[in-house]
Structure 1
Amino acid sequence: MKNPSFRFLWIGQSLANLGDVFYIVGIISVLYTLTESPFALALVPFINMFGRFISGMISPWLLNRFPLKTLLVYSQVCKTALLVVLSILLIFETTSGLFIILMFVGFIAFLDGWAAPASHAMLPRLVPKEQLVKANSFFSIVSETVNLGGWALGGVAVALTSGQFVIFGTVGLYIIATLMMFGICDPTPFRKKEAQGKRSSELTEGWQIIWRNPLFRSLHVVIVFEAIANVVWIASILYIFVSEVLGQTEAWWGYINTAFFLGMIIGGVICSRFVSGIENNLKRLLILFSFGISVVTLLFGVTSIPWIAILLVIGNGIVQQLKGIVSETMLQKSATTEELPKIYAVQSALISLLFGISSLSFGAIAELWDVRITFIIAAILLGLGALFAVIRRRDFSITSV
């Protein structure tokens, strides 16, 4: 935890994440000013998801040929350059084309698609294995604090200035984040791996690693259930729930989003306080928290009392954070330094794909029937994931590397 490279990683990643939030807030403001179209705004998360999915699919090729630090640095450098160009185009109003703005969104998401797996895989290289729970907890607390404050600060900045100015200001955050990435010293030697046989087999390497290992395979089955079910917490479905079920104004939509991030921060603090207890009970806690997420989701879906909904959202944030840290630690303790970035690349691609498909499916259910049904279905899926974890509990034994 006292490793200078670890500090460079979390500071650099935090500034990059804060920049990502500011840039998205700025983009949404610009697009709304230009088009006043809800559909145009909905394209931003879709393009973002699509860019990350494509990047996640080709990440194994990059991870075999470049060190993690190189991928982190070049991703941030290229994101900074793209944002500079976009800022100039917007400030001087040389373009107002929706297509061009969305093209930049797609390219930046594409660069994030390989930076995120590299960042996650770098963390266990910089801290001892016995400190992984503490390091993951700290990383999560910082990340969720950035999310909690970033959207509020970004909104205030847009209100006081403009979307174009916020995007331009994000360049400064990106530059500092890039300098932080340069300071990381990866202690793990890099061995370039050339493709043997068909190049397509190289792109499926991460999938093969997951399939061959019972722990990785079973863990990702649970992740698939959660990736599909957790779509019910996206802004559009929550907005409908607040309006139609809770009977409240848009302000409560903001309260619920804030409550979720607050719960995530509390969950991270709990993990950092009870490190040894969590370390010694990873399998049991994985199953317990998986059932906990299902129960909280179901209770939220059937309540119509606003203050109870807020408490349940905080509870959901806590349990989601605890479950995420437990599964992350299990993966980091069992995977080799070569396997880990490829596994994270598969996760990124898989979750992005499922998010896109599920958001459309749950959105249609919320529109055609009752929004509460989406939460009931989500709770059932999460319960099935937890039940699978119970049935395959022998697979969740740590195989330290």
Structure 2
Amino acid sequence: MWHRRFVCLWAGQTLANLGDVFYIVAFISVIYAASGSVMYTAFVPVVILSAQSVSGLTAPLFFRRWTLSRMLVLSQALKTALLAAAAVCVDRETGTQWLWLLYSLGAMIAFMDGWANPARNALVPQLVLRQELMRANGLLATSDQTVHFAGWAAGGLLVAWLGASTVLWGTVAAYVLATLAMLGVKPKLANAEGEAGLRVSPQQPQGDWLTGWKTIRNVPLLRQLVALDVVMGIAGAVWIAAILLPYVLEVLGQGEEWWGYINAGYLLGSIIGGTLLLKYAGRMNRQLPRWLVAGVSGSALMTLLFGSTPYPLAALLFSFALGPFLEIALVSKQTILQQETEQAALPYVLSAKGTLDALVFGLSSLVMGALAQWLGTRAVYLLSGLLLAVAVGLAWRLWQKWPAHAGEQEQGQTF
């Protein structure tokens, strides 16, 4: 697993993800300071999520023409140029009209992520052996969680200490390093054919923007995985700040600091779960559907217990325990998807799935927020636990239909 191309992918994506957190923190700080409006500030994540969703729809058009490694280099290089323009914009701020330019640049940066995310996840099976795939996914997931755990706190401190402009220029430097790392993912010219199967010719009718959706529709296992994703996505909407914060204040009877404790507890649990995945990935890879069922079952139980308790310390414990279970479920699901999807179709499937995930999250956040207002926050956490119980049934069904030979085949390396 630890060869040049995978290490470059891991290091470059970790730097890029850390930069993503830092620039969002800086944008939020700058926009709030300039406008004094909470609404304008809250609009930042909405713009970013919307741009990523639209980008997921366009990514297949580029997968037809470019290799995945070239997509990563191009998207990261464009993000670097756009963020440099945003840093210049912040340095020369005058009035409030420039804020719309900042929103536009932020949307274009996020748009590039809609290309990079499916390209990264589709590249992983090409860089590691089949039996190492779960360990590789676990490492990437743990790195992502660690970046988000430390990045938001560190980003806020750095903006307060150095100022938003300095943080943005520092992030540009991190993006430059990430771009250079992405160049290391590209195979040598002699081995360039290793990625030939990842690029669908424009003349092939299956290589259009509907390829991913058609593949999901036509492959029963992918349909089951996507259905599981949708149910888990709806259930996961209860962890947004708009629901969790009122739950802490009203049900647990604690101050806002407990909202931070519970979030930190979950993220720490996720990091521990990812570490366990790295250690035991070899065993777990042979029984992926079983571990998927175990992860979803544990997530359902912890969510129900979290929504049932009035005790803050118990809620913190259940939030912490949720992290490893959910991490196991997500990594198992991702690994199954990568192993059981044809290489040429995988980028298209991942881009379609990413668009669907973003759409489900946005709509379910609105629905869960409305239900929390109507029924109370405790009720939506119990509803989330019941939805995850339905997801357990879907995961169990997938396990029962799992082919006996799955997991025994090995996937060759192409580096």
TM-score tier by shorter-chain length is: over 0.9
Change in CA separation of 1:243 and 1:99 when aligned onto 2, cut-off 3 Å: same
For residues 311-344 of structure 1, give each alpha carbon's deviation from its aligned partner in whole angstroms, at most 9, with x where no partner exists: 1111111111111111111112212221211111
1:38 CA drift (Å): 2.4
Partner of 2:371: 365
Aligned counterpart in structure 2 of residue 237 of structure 1, from 228, 236, 243: 243
Asked if the contact 1:206/1:339 (under 8 Å) is kept, the reply is yes
The aligned runs of 1:2-401 (5 Å cut-off) are 2-94=2-94, 96-97=96-97, 98-186=99-187, 188-190=194-196, 191-195=199-203, 202-397=208-403, 398=406
Shift of the 363–39 alpha-carbon distance from structure 1 to 2, 3 Å rule, reads farther
**Matches of 2:308 and 2:115, distance apart in 1:** 39
More deviation in 16-25 or 351-360? 351-360
SS of 1:202's partner is coil
State the alpha-carbon separation in 2 of the partners of residues 89 and 264 from structure 1: 37
CA distance in 2, matches of 1:321, 1:215: 21
Range with bigger deviation, 281-290 or 313-322 = 281-290
Aligned amino acid, residue 29 of structure 1? S
Is residue 49–residue 353 contact of structure 1 (8 Å, CA) maintained in 2?
A: no
Cα shift readout 1:55-95 (whole Å, capped 9, x = no counterpart):
11111111111100111011011111111111111111146
CA contact (8 A) 1:195 1:202 kept: no
Q: Secondary structure at the match of 1:93?
A: coil
| Letter in structure 1 aligned against 2:269 | G
Q: CA deviation at 1:96?
A: 2.9
Q: Is the 8 A contact 2:89 2:102 kept in 1?
A: no
Between 56-65 and 389-398, report the one with greater CA deviation: 389-398
For the residues of structure 1 that align with 2:379 and 2:27, how far apart are their CA atoms?
32
CA distance in 1, matches of 2:108, 2:158: 24
CA contact (8 A) 2:215 2:349 kept: yes
Q: What is the deviation of 1:308?
A: 1.0
Distance (whole Å) between structure 2 residues aligned to residue 369 and residue 36 of structure 1: 33
Letter in 1 for 2:351: A
Counterpart code for 1:380? L
CA–CA distance in structure 1, aligned partners of residues 95 and 173 of structure 2: 23
Q: In the aligned structure 1, how far is the partner of 2:397 from the partner of 2:129?
A: 32
State the TM-score, normalizing by the size of structure 2: 0.92
Structure 2 regions of 5+ residues with no counterpart? Answer: none
Deviates more, 1:380-389 or 1:18-27: 380-389
TM-score if structure 1 supplies the norm length? 0.95
Q: Deviations over 1:334-365 (max 9, x none)?
A: 12221211111112101111111111221222
- Higher mean Cα deviation, 387-396 or 280-289? 387-396
CA separation in 2, counterparts of 1:392 and 1:140? 23
The 3-state SS of whatever aligns with 1:134 is: helix
Residue 310 of structure 2 aligns to a residue in which SS?
Answer: coil
Aligned residue for 2:180, secondary structure, equals helix
Deviates more, 1:289-298 or 1:184-193: 184-193
TM superposition shift of 1:224: 0.6
* Contact 1:53/1:353 (8 A) holds in 2: yes
Q: Measure the CA separation in 2 of the matches of 1:301 and 1:100.
A: 42
Deviation at 1:369, TM superposition (A): 3.3
Q: Which amino acid aligns with 1:141?
A: T
Query: Does the 8 Å contact 1:218/1:396 carry over to 2?
Result: no
Q: Distance in 1 between matches of 2:391 and 2:327?
A: 17
1:81-137 Cα deviation digits (max 9, x unpaired): 111111111111146334222212211111100100001111111111111121111
Bigger drift between 206-215 and 40-49 goes to 40-49
Q: Does the Cα contact within 8 Å between 2:221 and 2:398 map onto a contact in 1? A: no
Residue type of the alignment partner of 2:304: L
- 3-state DSSP of counterpart to 1:247: coil
Q: CA deviation at 1:231?
A: 1.1
- SS at structure 1 position matched to 2:260: helix
- Cα gap change, 1:354 to 1:131, in 2 (>3 Å): same
Q: Percent identity?
A: 37
Opposite residue 102 of structure 2, the aligned amino acid is I
How many Å separate the matches in 1 of 2:96 and 2:375?
A: 38
Contact 1:232 1:238 in 2 (8 A): yes
> Compared with structure 1, are the counterparts of its residues 348 and 114 closer, same or farther at alpha carbon in structure 2 (3 Å cutoff)?
same
